[in-house]
């Protein structure tokens, strides 16, 4: 009879101690990891913008620097080159000697005032690329480096 009583104690469910369950913990960790992975893409990156607000202590221009000289060069379909609406050289002349000498004079005058020369080339839509290269060669001889392009026809 003592033997049966011992058997009864080992099957008693009231005295059974539950162990640490690892499976639910892994599930929770995966859910948390998934949450942080999804939210990492939504974080906005803050960047420092180097701006200087206008004020008394920050002048817009240095005393030594003057505003840049802006020159507009137009290249027409026929090969005519104009500088600020003044026509230079013939359309057949590839070297553009008058145009080049005028650019050199403007560059020297701007350098003496410590100013930059900015050139905008406005080429008509059907203007030849060869003529644009001729104009760029003239600017290279005059050592003008600030050049921008606008290409297209008239706006309606």
35 vs 81: CA distance, rounded Å: 64
For residue 96, is it within any domain?
A: yes
For the domain that residue 90 is a member of, what is the CATH number?
Answer: 3.30.420.270
pLDDT of 155 above 50: no
The confidence score (pLDDT) of residue 34 equals 93
Asked whether residue 137 is assigned to any structural domain, the reply reads: yes
Answer whether residue 21 is part of any domain: no
What's the angle, vertex CA 81, arms to CA 73 and CA 103, rounded to 5? 55
Residue 110 structural domain? 69-151
Is residue 36 domain-resident? no
Domain tally, the chain: 1
CA angle 129, 139, 78 (to 5 degrees): 35
Mean pLDDT of the chain: 78
pTM of the model: 0.54
Task: Look at residue 25 and tell me if it is in a domain.
Answer: no
**pLDDT value, residue 144:** 87
Distance separating alpha carbons of residues 76 and 123, to the nearest angstrom: 6
pLDDT, tens only, 49-72: 777 777 665 455 554 556 777 888
């Amino acid at each position: 009879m003592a033997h049966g009583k011992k058997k009864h104690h080992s099957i008693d469910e009231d005295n059974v101690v539950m162990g640490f369950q690892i499976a639910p913990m892994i599930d929770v960790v995966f859910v948390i990891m998934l949450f942080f992975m999804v939210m990492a893409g939504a974080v906005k990156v803050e960047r420092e913008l180097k701006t200087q607000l206008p004020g008394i202590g920050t002048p817009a221009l240095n005393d030594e620097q003057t505003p840049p000289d802006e020159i507009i060069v137009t290249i027409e379909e026929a090969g005519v080159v104009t500088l600020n609406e003044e026509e230079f050289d013939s359309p057949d002349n590839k070297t553009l000697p008058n145009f080049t000498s005028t650019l050199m004079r403007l560059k020297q005058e701007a350098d003496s005032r410590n100013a930059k020369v900015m050139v905008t080339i406005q080429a008509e839509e059907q203007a030849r690329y060869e003529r644009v290269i001729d104009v760029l060669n003239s600017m290279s001889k005059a050592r003008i480096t600030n050049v921008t392009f606008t290409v297209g026809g008239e706006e309606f």
